[in-house]
Amino acid sequence: MSCYQSTRNQTINITETEAILQGISKEGGLFVPKELPKMDFELNALLDFNYQTLAYRVIRLFFDNLKEEDLKGCIAHAYDEKFDTPMIAPVKTTQTAHFLELFHGPTLAFKDMALSILPYLMTTSKRYEQEDKEIIILTATSGDTGKAALEGFADVPGTKIIVFFPEEGVSDVQKRQMTTQKGENTLVVGIKGNFDDAQTGVKQIFADQAFEAELAAQGFVFSSANSINIGRLVPQVVYYFYAYGRLAQEGSLQVGEPMNVVVPTGNFGNILAAYYAKCMGLPIGKFICASNKNNVLTDFFEKGIYDRRRDFFVTNSPSMDILISSNLERFLYYMCEGDTTLVTEFMEDLRTKGYYKVTEKMQEKMQLFEAGFADDETTLAMIKKVYEEENYLMDTHTAVAYAVYDSYKTRTKDLTPTVIASTASPYKFTGSVMCALDKKYETQNDFVLLKEMEKLLNNQMPEGIRGIETLPIRHQCVCEVTRMKETIADFLK
């Protein structure tokens, strides 16, 4: 049976269903498998598995407490017609790169890959644990998690979902996607601050035992839809196996040969899922961690020092505008071989001093990772270059990844087949993407540009975003960071 423990307390040992329901450990640590499982199928099988079959074969290795019919039911409900392709996560190969398209779900971003299944994992876990309290999903978002979580949990019985986002830190389309969300159990709140403020506020609320007891007396219990929840992270492992199978199927690599991955990341969950895949047996060579101007992760991998004491930049890749990467805590746990005391020290140093430095031994183990960053100008230049030369239109986050990969390839001459995680549709960031192609679009708003992009691509605008500019605004709440807890209490009353 799977066993999970906290990154900050090795004496905590719980099942996956308890970990999924709790979301985060009481002392602030994140739940990790006590032992990462190994794949129990041959690499050749990846050529034949469809996405749903592969999802079952991978996820069950982490969540073996779930009955076969229950897990298969979760997967069947998650990966169905809500995705606009039966492949779920197709790989698009151009002249210079392989793009793992993770944006074919209802909200046009990679968060759909995990947040389509999390509500089913959570309600199944609730049944297993005989939890009778109403689950309050509490989430901070830098743009994409919020809408994907809202879409997944809207009107799910026995749950309510509250999403906090930076009021001035998301694209117009992202904001409209969230504030027009239907569902009697949903609340969307803009905060006067950045994503790190929202994320820190949510973590503090999770750690507030008095508030927890107060809500428990009213019949509520907190959980999370952020990638701090292991039920969010594990489903993301699947698509790296799937990408490998697609590259082998098209002959871009031979089964058994390594594959590199490039991931644009802020909170480190998406690239950590790739690391899990490697630990399970998938032949991944290099992990290339791509950041925007908020390049705290680039500095971390180059110097072994994580330092959030720096300016925060609002960029044209807003989902990566993050200085505190929550899932990096899980990575530290593996790099220091499960020394929870050391992880706790790092997290306390980050909280009190604003930085921490890893040991030399940990830094040596981190050599599997390369890191780089791209500023706004480079990001826009890459969008224009790839569209004009390869007829492939990237969103800004994917363009950051492409720029970092292009630089890595030039520097190292590494020709290993490489998959770039394409984390969002260009339709989500129309203003930046269209202006990258032609300055004439600078005077037009994002919603006008949706139609311009549709004409440019000569394809139909995705269902999840069509007509969004005319939908009624249902959520207009804005609050100070210091008022997040009161906002939650008012909603639950």
428 is annotated as an active-site residue: no
Query: Measured between alpha carbons, how far is 179 from 9 in angstroms, rounded to an integer?
Result: 38
**Nearest residue to 63 via CA among 106, 15, 114, 102:** 15
Q: What are phi and psi of 148, to 5 degrees?
A: -65, -40
3-class state of residue 382 by DSSP: helix
Element (H, E) at 389: helix 376-390
- Give the chain's largest Cα–Cα span: 61
Helices (H), 304-374: 328-335, 340-352, 360-365
Pair 75, 51: CB distance under 8 Å: no
Helices (H) and strands (E) in the chain, counts: 20, 16
The two tokens of residue 310 are: 């720096």
Residue in 34, 72, 92, 111 annotated catalytic: 111
Query: Measured between alpha carbons, how far is 275 from 63 in angstroms, rounded to an integer?
Result: 18
Q: Which residues pair with 437 in a beta bridge?
A: none
Query: Measured between alpha carbons, how far is 417 from 402 in angstroms, rounded to an integer?
Result: 14
Active-site residue list: 111
